[in-house]
Amino acid sequence: MLNSTHREGVDVSVTSNRQALVIGASRGLGLVLANELARRDWRVTATARRSGGELQANADASNGLLEVESLEMTSSDELAALRERLAGRRLDLLFVNAAIDRGNLPIGEVPTDMFTEVMVTNALSPLRTLEALRDLVVPGGTVAVMSSEQGSITRNTEDGYELYKASKAALNQLMRSYATRYADDGRTKLLIDPGHNRTRLGGPDAPLAAEQSIPAVVDVLEAHIGAPGLQFLDRHGETVPW
């Protein structure tokens, strides 16, 4: 459940001015991220592919700090519909969180349809989302994407998960192109490595809980507000090598 910071006699929904849109928040890191931002009095719009669930329950209990929108991020039609519904919204933070993993196959054994699915979800769709929604972000606002140390070519020194690593490296490269194209827009641009977390994607043996790592991620987001250019940072604010 959302840990409320509501103060007795104060309507926090009125006192909070910072607005965030979190894409991909139905579970895992995205869910905890939306909750943590709302806990810090951000007004958060969070997307999920399906209605209901923990995200909606948290929104219902949030005193207006958290609201839910429907989005299948890989659908251009749904993305366009979301953009239309949010017309006029002014965002201080746009955060795209989306990733799938289809197992630990050597690249030569990966079927073409699996390769396409992972690349579309993990690399293409996040950048399409940024392109569709970027004009909602205020000057000086932040555009961020959940990446991974697995996308670092420099640190790719262990076997395994070749397709997932390739998709995150592609995501990072596309974000670099995005940042180059919009170098003069004045917005902060971040790729975030949250660490290896115990989520459906990260698996049950991962060393971190999202409730541990995501508050640190939000610290990084808040610390870099107004810093121009693109950075690839971990949850401690340290630079991850490309």
Sorting pLDDT into bands at 50, 70 and 90, what band is 51? confident
| Of 206 and 64, more confident | 64
**Domain ranges in the chain?**
12-234
What does 154-205 look like in DSSP terms, one character per residue?
TT--S-S-HHHHHHHHHHHHHHHHHHHHTTTS--EEEEEE--SBSSTTT-TT
pTM over 0.85: yes
Query: What's the pLDDT tens digit per position in 158-190?
Result: 999 999 999 999 999 999 999 999 999 999 999
Q: What are the pLDDT digits (tens) for 136-165? A: 999 999 999 999 999 999 999 999 999 999
Contact by Cβ (8 Å): 138, 186: no
Q: What mean pLDDT value characterizes the chain?
A: 90
Question: What is the C-alpha radius of gyration for the chain, rounded to an integer number of angstroms?
Answer: 17
| pLDDT 10s digits, 210-232 | 798 999 999 999 999 999 899 99
Q: Does domain 12-234 have CATH number 3.40.50.720?
A: yes
CA angle 100, 150, 195 (to 5 degrees): 85
